[in-house]
Amino acid sequence: MKKLNDLCEKFFEMLDLSATLDKKTAENDKLCLSKSLEKFLATGYKEDAFTVYFCFSEIFRLFGKGYDNTQKLLELLSDHEYHSGELLSKHRDHYSHSVYVFSLGISIYAHDAKTRKAFLDFYSLPDDGKSTATFLYLWGMTSLFHDIGYPFQLAHEQIKNYTKEVWGDSAKSNPYVSFGNIDAFVAIDDSDRARLNCSLCQKRKFSDLDELFAYGLSARLGYDENKMRSFLRERVVKQPYFLDHGYFGAVTLTKQLFELPDFVLDDKRLDVLTAILLHNNLSKFDMKNSRPVSLSNHPLAYMLMLCDELQNWDRLAYGKISKQDPLAWDIEMNISDNRLDVLYLFDGRYVDDVNGGKRECKSYTEIDCGDYAANIVGGKGKKGFLETSLDLRLYAAEREKAKKSTLYASDNSFINLCDFAKAIHASYTNLCNGNNNADYLNAAFEELPLEFKISNIEQAKSYSEKLELINCFYSSKDLDYPVVESFTDTGYGKKNADNLGFLCREEHVRWVKEKLRMGWRYGTDYATTQERLTKKMHKDLVPNEVLEKAEVDKDRVMIDNIIPLLKRFGHNIRIYSYRSGRKPDLEIAGTGHRFFTDDREKLKKQIKAIIAKYSEDNRVIVRTCFGYGADQLIAECAAEMNVTIKAVLPTTYEHFISVVKADCISNGHKFDESDELRMRHLLAQTVVCKTVRDEENFYLGASRYIIDKCDKVIALWDGKVLPLEKNGEPVNLGGTYHCIEMAKARGLKLDEDIHIVACHRN
Look at residue 406 and tell me if it is in a domain: no
Q: Answer yes or no: are the C-beta atoms of 351 and 323 closer than 8 Å.
A: no
pLDDT tens digits for range 582-620: 678 999 999 999 999 999 999 999 999 999 999 988 989
Q: How far is CA 165 from CA 91, 354, 561, 749, 762, in A?
A: 16, 18, 50, 59, 72
Q: How far is CA 702 from CA 647, 676, 711, in A?
A: 9, 21, 16
Residues 695 and 678 in one domain: yes
Residues 45 and 161 in one domain: yes
Residues 300 and 345 in one domain: no
Residues 525 and 383 in one domain: no
Question: What's the CA dihedral at 724, 647, 632, 517 to 10 degrees?
Answer: 180
Residue 528 identity (one-letter amino acid):
T
Rg (the chain; Cα; Å)? 29
Residues 377 and 304 in one domain: no
Q: How far is CA 541 from CA 112, 194, 510, 544, in A?
A: 41, 54, 11, 9
Residues 698 and 675 in one domain: yes
Question: What's the CA dihedral at 655, 656, 657, 659 to 10 degrees?
Answer: 90
pLDDT, average across residues 458-474: 86
Residues 125 and 272 in one domain: yes
3-state secondary structure of 2: strand
pLDDT tens digits for range 511-552: 999 999 999 999 999 999 889 988 999 999 999 999 999 889
440 DSSP 8-state letter = H
What is the pTM for the complete model shown?
0.85
pLDDT tens digits for range 149-188: 888 887 777 777 777 777 776 556 677 788 888 899 999 8
Sequence-ordered list of residues with C-beta below 8 angstroms from that of 28, at least 6 positions apart, any chain: 449, 450, 451, 518
The domain total for the chain is 4
Give exposure, 76-92, as e/b (b: 16+ Cβ within 10 Å).
ebbebbbebbebbeebb
Residues 465 and 536 in one domain: yes
Domain boundary among 542, 577, 612: 577
Q: Answer yes or no: are the C-beta atoms of 344 and 331 closer than 8 Å.
A: yes
Please determine, for residue 428, whether its predicted confidence score (pLDDT) is greater than 60.
Answer: yes
State residue 176 phi and psi, 5-degree precision: -145, 160
Burial, 118: exposed, middle or buried (Cβ in 10 Å; 0-12, 13-18, 19+)?
Answer: middle
Which H/E stretch holds residue 40? helix 23-43
Number of H helices, E strands in the chain: 30, 19
Domain boundary among 284, 299, 324: 324
Q: What is the CATH number of the domain that holds 748?
A: 3.40.50.450
Structural domain harbouring 332: 325-401
Look at residue 572 and tell me if it is in a domain: yes
Residues 535 and 627 in one domain: no
pLDDT, average across residues 38-50: 90
Residues 624 and 563 in one domain: no
Residues 393 and 428 in one domain: no
Residues 120 and 264 in one domain: yes
pLDDT tens digits for range 354-413: 677 788 888 999 999 999 999 999 887 778 889 999 999 999 999 988 766 566 777 755
Look at residue 314 and tell me if it is in a domain: yes
State residue 25 phi and psi, 5-degree precision: -65, -40
CA distance 519 to 535: 10
Domain boundary among 348, 366, 401: 401
